[in-house]
Amino acid sequence: MINAGPLEKSTATTARPTRAFKLPDQLFLHILLIVILFFMLLPFIWMVGTALKPDADATPTSLSGTEKNIGTLVSLFWPREFHWENFVKAWNGKYSANVPDVSFFDAPFTRYFFNTIIVGVAETVGVLFTSIMAAYAFARMEFWGKGILFGFILATLAIPHEATYIPNLVIISQLGQIASWLGTNSYTALFLPWLGSAFYIFLLRQFFMALPQELYEAAQLDGISELGFLGRIAIPLSMPAVLTVGLFAFLGNWNAFLWPLIAAPNIPVVQTGLRTFVGNADVQTEWNLLMAAATIVILPIIILYFVVQRRFIEGVSRTGIK
Amino acid sequence: MRAQIYCFYKEGCMASVSKPITKPPETGPLQTDAAFKRRKKLKNSLKAYLFIAPAMLFLFFFNFFPIIYAIFLSLYQRISVVKGVIPPAENFAGFANYTRLLTDPDWWNAFFNTIGYVFGSVFFGLVVALGIALLLDKVKKGKEFYRVAFFLPYVTSLVAVATVWYIIFSPYASNALVKPNPDRPGGLVNWVFAAAGIPMQRWLIDDRGIFTIIFANGGKVDWLSGLIRLLVVAALIIVAVVAYRRLNHTLGVWVSAIVGAIALLVGWTVIVELAHLFPWTGWAGGPSIAMVAITVVAVWYSLGFNIILLLAGLTNISRELYDAARIDGARGWSMLISMTIPLLSPTLFFLLIVNTISAFQAFTLFFAILPSGPTRSVQVLSTFYYEVTFKRGSGTDTAGFGYSSTIVVFMLLLIVGINQLQQRILAKRVNYD
């Protein structure tokens, strides 16, 4: 076996032939990990399984019932028959027979998705713009008060979002007096407070600082302006960081809950929408519809995650973003 | 030509070029007057200010100013709807909100609940994640697959996940049964409990302490069977120790852990019977069963994040160090405690701080896991803050932005304080080698 990597861990173990017996360690390890993983992903398995069940089967019945066999256990997770129309019902908010039929464009989840995506795109583009500009200035330019201003940015890192909610609500409602499209219950209110991010500035600055100084000097000799250097050289070279920031900004918006709830209750986004679904539903809703709704909310993120999982994990393990 | 370009970038390689190159004459600082320099810096500064202006504007107005404003608002009372930026002067209350906070039993309830939740979720979150990360670190093939799979819960949204767990823990069947019913046990957890013959619980709604619930069903003490079970426990412990000594490293640790767990389970039945002799009420009742359930969800949710970072930390520990320690005779737990954990301490320390802060701010899980909102035993600071701000009667003395701003100021102080404390105490012990 040709392995140029670090020393194999087992070398020292194999050097001692005194062991009584030895199971294949790796196999044992994999079995153990798969079992742990199964329990870890159990909620998702149950979610999808329940979402597809017919109404009557959605609540598990006890083993003390009539069928006392392994089939009951399996039927907890595996639907007897697949009811894909549960997803359509959940999308249309038809959690009881009283709810009237709606067209696709009026369906609750169509509105939630539309609102979330509009706000998400605006927030991602906006925060990328402000963060890239500021990060570049702090990484490459010399100006008075640079140290103090950067210290100010680092200080705002310690402020929890919750602490800013009430004052921000006041600010937003004051802005609403000026123009209604800025005030509460407007799309703008949902992303405006989050357009400046200390963490993203810090992260991007690290990347811009790592660019070789020679590049910058060469560009200056060629007479490229700061903006030109930023747009044509710095951003393309730091694309991984820029994409990671964009991804996390969009994800953060997708998962936002409390701020949309208080700042724009009339503009339901995905999370607040799902929550009203649960709130209305409480005990009247069949669980399969509730689980179908949860699946609808989770699925886009899971698909996105599998497409760019490397970037996700790299981003998290490198920056410790949480 | 190539060598020259190479030399342009690399310092100190000029000597390798065969043709002697005359060094460029040493140029001192450019002979420019100070005024010109200052004007250039001013011009550069103006340009830089334009670059940072948008971000600074948003950070100032929506991040920094709100803190000042919250402190300002905390000095006022009876302001549930703010008409202008500055509340009317007659509502100025000085430190009344602060004294009220310190005498508010609801606040203290939320405070202690939060402390308990932070300890529980951070401790168990890190221990479980460390266990899994240590296993993952040993995997030779397919590590990437496990990384992706274990991280999955963390990317999903907390509201959706809370909905799923609400149903998993639900004591109700979907057609509105009020009491837990063995024939329709509701969620998954109660189904398992019913199948195992354990009394089903009203998870998420029950404010009783977990010890109260476990030990209340102790029944009478059967001394003979208790003695026999204790002997079984002793035998199992011997098996565990032998397995740990005899088997090779990974296998030994895990076999001993599993046998030990069985011993614990058997010993547990004895403990439960004996514990029945002691009244488990009040503080002795332990965290409420609702808090335990929510902590389980919180640990599950943040597991992926912790595992990924711990794994990155573990990969950085060099294999030679492991081999050296092994030659020195370190095995299993001693290897873990005297070598892996100290070397992992920077990562653990970082995770401790990040997890503590996010546990203090936890809101969504507590708020969204029950449609009717959190019960008293799972009321934490952030949900209490939400309730004071948006749910209690408006315009009266009990509600308002003034009082809730006081809560915010306290939360801020708590978070910054704990952060500082952890930095001071732990930073000394952390190995940054």
Q: Does residue B147 lie within any of the structural domains?
A: yes
Residue B23 corresponds to which amino acid? K
- The pLDDT score that the predictor gives to residue A224 is 85
A166 chain-B contacts, CB cut-off 8 A: 66, 70, 73, 389, 401, 404-405, 408
**HSE-up (13 A, CA, CB side) for residue A163:** 27
Average pLDDT of A232-251?
Answer: 88
Most confident of B53-62, B184-193, B315-324: B53-62
- ipTM of this predicted structure: 0.83
Four-residue CA torsion sign, B158, B163, B165, B169: positive
Most confident of A36-50, B277-291, B405-419: A36-50
Structural domain boundaries of chain A?
A: 25-83, 111-268+310-319
Minimal-distance CA residue of chain A relative to B151: A313
Contact assignment for A29 to B138 by CB distance below 8 Å: yes
Burial class (CB in 10 A: 0-12, 13-18, 19+), B181: middle
Most confident of A6-10, B65-69, B327-331: B65-69
Burial class (CB in 10 A: 0-12, 13-18, 19+), B408: buried
Give the SS3 label for residue B92: strand
In this prediction, residue B6 has a pLDDT band, given cuts at 50, 70 and 90, of very low
Four-residue CA torsion sign, A304, A308, A313, A316: negative
For residue A156, give the nearest of B63, B385, B419 by CB distance. Answer: B63
Q: Does residue B346 lie within any of the structural domains?
A: yes
Question: A111-268+310-319 sits in which CATH class?
Answer: mainly alpha
CATH of residue B298's domain is 1.10.3720.10
Average pLDDT of A244-270?
Answer: 89
Q: Does residue B258 lie within any of the structural domains?
A: no
Q: Does residue B329 lie within any of the structural domains?
A: yes
B169 touches chain A (CB under 8 A): no
- The pLDDT score that the predictor gives to residue B358 is 86
Burial class (CB in 10 A: 0-12, 13-18, 19+), B336: middle
Pick left, alpha or beta for residue B251 (phi over 0 → left; psi -120 to 50 → alpha; otherwise beta): alpha
The pLDDT tens digits for B326-384 are 787 776 677 788 788 888 888 888 888 888 888 988 888 998 888 777 888 899 998 88
Residue A296 corresponds to which amino acid? I
Task: State the Cα–Cα distance between residues B367 and B375, nearest whole angstrom.
Answer: 10
The pLDDT tens digits for A148-158 are 998 888 888 77
How crowded is residue B324: how many other Cβ atoms within 10 Å of its Cβ? 13
Q: Does residue B325 lie within any of the structural domains?
A: yes
B329 chain-A contacts, CB cut-off 8 A: none
Contact assignment for B174 to A287 by CB distance below 8 Å: yes
B5 has pLDDT over 80: no
Contact assignment for B358 to A322 by CB distance below 8 Å: yes
Q: Does residue B345 lie within any of the structural domains?
A: yes
Q: Which domain holds residue B141?
A: 100-169+204-218+276-381
- The pLDDT score that the predictor gives to residue B331 is 67
More confident residue, B280 or A282: B280
Q: Does residue B336 lie within any of the structural domains?
A: yes
The pLDDT tens digits for B142-152 are 888 998 999 99
B4 has pLDDT over 50: no
Task: State the Cα–Cα distance between residues A199 and B354, nearest whole angstrom.
Answer: 14
Contact assignment for A62 to B367 by CB distance below 8 Å: no
More confident residue, B252 or A118: A118
B5 touches chain A (CB under 8 A): no
pTM for the complete prediction? 0.81
Average pLDDT of A308-312?
Answer: 79
Task: State the Cα–Cα distance between residues B48 and B76, nearest whole angstrom.
Answer: 40
- The pLDDT score that the predictor gives to residue B175 is 44
Candidates B377, B372, B382; CA nearest to B166 is: B372
Contact B153, B161 (CB under 8 A): yes
Number of A:B CB contacts under 8 A? 329
Lowest model confidence (mean pLDDT) among A14-23, A118-127, A283-292, B370-379: A14-23
CA distance A101 to chain B (A): 23
A14 has pLDDT over 70: no
For residue B371, give the nearest of A279, A286, A298 by CB distance. Answer: A279
CA distance A320 to chain B (A): 7
Candidates B37, B152, B422: best to mutate against A (most CBs of A within 10 A) is B152
Q: What stretches of B89-222 show up as alpha helix (H) in DSSP?
A: 96-102, 105-138, 143-155, 158-168, 188-196, 210-216
Q: What is the DSSP letter of A281?
A: H
A159 chain-B contacts, CB cut-off 8 A: 63-64, 66-67, 412
Contact B277, B268 (CB under 8 A): no
Minimal-distance CA residue of chain A relative to B243: A20
- The pLDDT score that the predictor gives to residue A156 is 82
For residue A37, give the nearest of B150, B160, B300 by CB distance. Answer: B150
Contact assignment for B174 to A59 by CB distance below 8 Å: yes
Task: State the Cα–Cα distance between residues B154 and B378, nearest whole angstrom.
Answer: 22
For residue A143, give the nearest of B48, B168, B176 by CB distance. Answer: B48
Average pLDDT of B313-318?
Answer: 84
